Structure 1
């Protein structure tokens, strides 16, 4: 009887692992297809062989500039920003055991946005200055929210409410900066605030790419501890997890990634909010949701950008499309949580 139970458990585990591998592989293939579409499609649709030759460094009139200068940076920005947003959102939702506890809703992204807008509108800065300011502001925002939510004991509900309040304050600050800023800087700031891959340049991407290569492996290595944290503070401690150190490393890694992603593409709405739940629905339970959430983020950003470019008469930034997708889901989630008494 005991052997039969063990065999049944192991069979279920193998089945869940196969599902995880199949879903993750599908998401990788879909991301590759969307990357190819990003490189091929534009005002002019270039043949696949010409695009490949241009990527390999061959100079082809009309193709090399379009592919290497415009489409490749745009595609890379979408891939790495989407992966960063997806992973960061899943970390906060899992760690705090609440689908509303993501960087968009609790104000972390808004903190990075406020710093970036200040650099663009007031300091007339760009590049490294905006990236550094975004990371510092993101870390400062999450630290302030965490300190204010401590009280006598840590409360997830209090953290979310304080985060929403901080977000409102920061949005007011952004509005003020736009009012007092120079007129010629306002269009660039507004375009950036909508969340856009337009104008992405290769020299702006290294900080974002480097942050993903540094912090994503750290998060993946901590994926098991992240899953245990979802059981609660006492259960995680009894299972041998150093909760304070693990939570600090996860928060630091996710905030650095999402701050640099925000400084590069702007705050692309709802990607960090949607990626985790979608990935969890696809993958199921039993294995880490981190990598699938990152891949879902990549696919959301690339697909939304393609829709914004080619599905309408007017071209829309990627953030507007993800906002149209994410807003109804947020309303649905709030209604469902209210009915369950979770709000």
Structure 2
């Protein structure tokens, strides 16, 4: 009897592992296809051979500028920002055991946005200073939310409620700054607030790449600890996990991912909110969901940008398209939570 149970458990584990690896491979393939499409489609289309030569550094008239200067930075920014949003959103949602606990719902993204808008509209500066300010502000707001949510002990529900309240306050500050700003500067701020890959330059990519590699690597390394935290603090402590230490590392790495990606591309709506649940349904339960969630985030950003640039008569920022995709899911989730009495 015991042997049969053990065989059944092992078979189930092997089946889940095969599913996880298959889905991850499929997501990688879709991401690669979208990357190629980002380089291929544009006002002028170039053959894959020409694109490959440009990527190798060959200076081909017209193609070198279109592919190397315009499309490649746009592609890399979308890819790395999508990975960052997806991994960070999944970490918050898993750790707090609530699909509403996404960085763009609980105020972390707004923390970065308010600093960037202040720099653009009031200080009238741009470039690396805006990025640094957005990152520092995002970290400060996340620290504030985390500190206020602790009380006597950590509470995920308290964190979500406090985060939503702080987000509302920060959004009001952003609206105030826009109303008081010079009308010539407002368009720049609004374009950034919508989340956009327009005008990306290669100088913005190395920093974003480094942040994704370092802090995304931390998220992957702590994937098992994240799954244990999902069981709740009591179960996690029983299993020997230092919950405060693990949670602090995961929160810090997530905030760096979200804040830096937001500083580069703007707050691309709902990517962090959607990536984790979609990846979780595809990859199934059991294995850490960090890598599939990151890939799903990258797919959402790249696909939304392609749709916004080439499907409609007017070109839309990527954040507009992801907002259209995410809003119905948010409404559905709220209705579901209301019907189940608070359980997602």
Using structure 2 for the length normalisation, give the TM-score: 0.98
Specify the alignment match of 1:74 in structure 2: 74
Kindly indicate whether residue 251 of structure 2 is the aligned counterpart of residue 251 of structure 1. Answer: yes
Kindly indicate whether residue 341 of structure 2 is the aligned counterpart of residue 341 of structure 1. Answer: yes
Specify the alignment match of 1:161 in structure 2: 161
Offset from partner CA, 1:146-166 (integer Å, 9 cap, x none): 222223443222221111111
Structure 1 distance, partners of 2:127, 2:245, is: 32
Structure 2 distance, partners of 1:9, 1:155, is: 33
Structure 1 distance, partners of 2:165, 2:57, is: 50
Specify the alignment match of 2:297 in structure 1: 297
Specify the alignment match of 2:53 in structure 1: 53
Structure 1 distance, partners of 2:255, 2:174, is: 20
Structure 2 distance, partners of 1:124, 1:206, is: 24
SS at match of 1:106: coil
SS at match of 2:123: coil
CA drift at 1:92: 0.3
Specify the alignment match of 1:330 in structure 2: 330
Gaps of 5+ in 2: none
Structure 1, 308-317 or 148-157: larger mean CA deviation = 148-157
SS at match of 1:122: helix
Specify the alignment match of 2:318 in structure 1: 318
Kindly indicate whether residue 151 of structure 2 is the aligned counterpart of residue 151 of structure 1. Answer: yes
CA drift at 1:177: 1.3
Structure 1 distance, partners of 2:65, 2:260, is: 26
Structure 1, 151-160 or 22-31: larger mean CA deviation = 151-160
Kindly indicate whether residue 185 of structure 2 is the aligned counterpart of residue 185 of structure 1. Answer: yes
Structure 2 distance, partners of 1:117, 1:164, is: 20
RMSD of aligned alpha carbons: 1.0
Gaps of 5+ in 1: none
Specify the alignment match of 1:123 in structure 2: 123
Structure 2 distance, partners of 1:182, 1:247, is: 42
CA drift at 1:109: 0.1
Q: How does 1:194-205 map to 2 (within 5 A)?
A: 194-205=194-205
Structure 1 distance, partners of 2:153, 2:203, is: 45
Specify the alignment match of 1:41 in structure 2: 41
CA drift at 1:134: 1.2
SS at match of 1:26: helix
Structure 1, 315-324 or 159-168: larger mean CA deviation = 159-168
Structure 2 distance, partners of 1:151, 1:216, is: 29
Specify the alignment match of 1:265 in structure 2: 265
Structure 1, 126-135 or 219-228: larger mean CA deviation = 126-135
CA drift at 1:207: 1.6
Specify the alignment match of 1:234 in structure 2: 234
Structure 1 distance, partners of 2:292, 2:337, is: 24
Structure 1, 4-13 or 175-184: larger mean CA deviation = 175-184
Structure 1 distance, partners of 2:3, 2:323, is: 51
Specify the alignment match of 2:10 in structure 1: 10
Structure 1 distance, partners of 2:162, 2:68, is: 44
Specify the alignment match of 1:26 in structure 2: 26
Structure 1 distance, partners of 2:148, 2:164, is: 12
Using structure 1 for the length normalisation, give the TM-score: 0.98
CA drift at 1:135: 1.4
Offset from partner CA, 1:226-251 (integer Å, 9 cap, x none): 00000001110110111001000000
Structure 2 distance, partners of 1:170, 1:277, is: 26
Q: How many residues align?
A: 343
Structure 2 distance, partners of 1:50, 1:153, is: 59
Structure 2 distance, partners of 1:243, 1:69, is: 45
Structure 2 distance, partners of 1:153, 1:32, is: 44
Structure 1 distance, partners of 2:127, 2:9, is: 52
Structure 1, 8-17 or 173-182: larger mean CA deviation = 173-182
Structure 1 distance, partners of 2:205, 2:252, is: 20
